[in-house]
Chains A and B, each alone.
Chain A
């Protein structure tokens, strides 16, 4: 590793590890597409129905696939003991964890955001609505990664981590779900949607500044448990 900056070094290390397991990267995206394509089958293929439920369906599917991908966030480092080394290193653990989350977002959140316009087309959303959907996911999905990481840091090493993780994290996802899907619905009804997008941006700023500290202290607690 030639990078002198530990933040950059951590980011590139995590990205390199992720890209060597390509199948694992693809799974959340495939899950996202499959979940969205189940809704027309279950509810109705009628374009007017799909238009009205589309924003909510895409947002919930994005939320669930992020939740699914979170499980592996700290697992390998936690299992092989690298996590203790990272937390014991002289560099601030919160910054290193932020690098980890950004890397995680690059491999799970970003592909999902990139593919979302396609799903918007499948659900008959208009072009300008798809654009708002794209922006809202771009602002909202990193928040899901950050807040989700708090839940992962608290539950890692527990026996039934998966079910507990969703109970801890899903109520905290509610504001982003409301603002995200509402921005898209407002755009579809030709109403102003700037307010919702600004709210999403504000939540993202709060999460980026506060959650790294929470995550590193939660990981310290979880590591002390073993």
Chain B
């Protein structure tokens, strides 16, 4: 069997609800354990062992929530757009479930990034909000997520909601880079760039390791939520199929 055939076989297997349901059930405990471990390492390392910043003191420690959630906000939209494309092209229901579950999680991460950024900005910049390029494009990203969630919840028929949502997610994916760079350009024209905390790449290793650990923990947390959500969605969607009946009667 060639590599290409193997990839297609994997693709078809993943598209089978029963197979995915079991696989997700097996993966879930492992990912919960890994999430908790990494989050503990990140939190303890970040809040206890990392040295205080020479300028910001202990205030910088919010970075361990803020930066991973900002990274996740972009990453989740990307996952959503890729799954929307898969759903539109191959009509794989699982991709639609992933896209729909991702939207709420992505919106939450975006909101968290905005809130923590605001809390961080108050002592450091002296205001709750500046019309900085990053903040503004993050806010617009939140609007895109809310639009997607709003459209999906306005349509009762699940299949139609999936298709309409997928089209919107792809339109958004094309527009995100345009929006982002137009906002960056607008910002550099309007006001001098705010002092960026990450321009200096030489971040101390004691600070960096907890940050990377937290970033990984956030990704795995997303995976956990995704697995739990898609399992319950699959059960509801396939409630008339044979394998769900067997599952219910056997338990």
Q: A: which residues have CB within 8 A of B?
A: 150, 154-155, 158-160, 164, 167-168, 170-172, 174-175, 178-179, 182, 199, 203, 210, 214, 217-218, 221-222, 224-225
Interfacial chain B residues near A172, Cβ < 8 Å: 171-172, 175, 179
Report yes or no: B167 in contact with A155, Cβ–Cβ below 8 A.
no
Q: B: which residues have CB within 8 A of A?
A: 140, 143-144, 146-147, 150-151, 154-155, 157, 160, 163-164, 167-168, 170-172, 174-175, 178-179, 182-183, 185-186, 189
Number of A-B contacts (CB under 8 A): 69
Report yes or no: A217 in contact with B167, Cβ–Cβ below 8 A.
yes
Report yes or no: B151 in contact with A178, Cβ–Cβ below 8 A.
no
Q: Which residue of B lies closest to A161 (CB)?
A: B154
Quick one: given A155-B154, A168-B151, A174-B140, are A214 and B171 in contact (CB under 8 Å)?
yes
Which of A164, A174, A218 is the one whose CB lies under 8 Å from B154?
A164
Report yes or no: B182 in contact with A178, Cβ–Cβ below 8 A.
yes
Q: Which residue of B lies closest to A154 (CB)?
A: B164
Q: Which residue of A lies closest to B162 (CB)?
A: A221
Q: Which residue of A lies closest to B181 (CB)?
A: A175
B153 to chain A, nearest CB (A): 10
Report yes or no: B150 in contact with A221, Cβ–Cβ below 8 A.
no
A39-B52 Cα distance, complex, nearest whole Å: 49
Report yes or no: B179 in contact with A182, Cβ–Cβ below 8 A.
no
Report yes or no: B147 in contact with A168, Cβ–Cβ below 8 A.
yes
Report yes or no: B151 in contact with A203, Cβ–Cβ below 8 A.
no
Interfacial chain A residues near B182, Cβ < 8 Å: 174-175, 178-179, 199
Report yes or no: A168 in contact with B167, Cβ–Cβ below 8 A.
no
New contact pairs (6) apart from A182-B186, A203-B178, A221-B163, CB-CB < 8 Å: A155-B151, A171-B179, A172-B171, A172-B172, A172-B175, A210-B174
A177 to chain B, nearest CB (A): 9
Quick one: given A179-B182, A225-B155, are A167 and B167 in contact (CB under 8 Å)?
no
Which of A167, A199, A203 is the one whose CB lies under 8 Å from B150?
A167
A67 to chain B, nearest CB (A): 14
Quick one: given A158-B155, A178-B186, are A164 and B150 in contact (CB under 8 Å)?
yes
Which of B143, B157, B185 is the one whose CB lies under 8 Å from A171?
B143
Report yes or no: B164 in contact with A222, Cβ–Cβ below 8 A.
yes
Report yes or no: B168 in contact with A168, Cβ–Cβ below 8 A.
yes
A175-B172 Cα distance, complex, nearest whole Å: 13
Interfacial chain B residues near A203, Cβ < 8 Å: 178
Report yes or no: B147 in contact with A178, Cβ–Cβ below 8 A.
no
Enumerate 11 A-B pairs (CB-CB under 8 Å) in ascending A order.
A154-B164, A164-B147, A164-B150, A167-B150, A171-B175, A172-B171, A172-B175, A172-B179, A174-B182, A214-B171, A221-B163
Report yes or no: A178 in contact with B174, Cβ–Cβ below 8 A.
no
Q: Which residue of B lies closest to A224 (CB)?
A: B160
Interfacial chain A residues near B151, Cβ < 8 Å: 154-155, 164, 168
Interfacial chain B residues near A214, Cβ < 8 Å: 167, 170-171
B176 to chain A, nearest CB (A): 10
Report yes or no: B178 in contact with A167, Cβ–Cβ below 8 A.
no
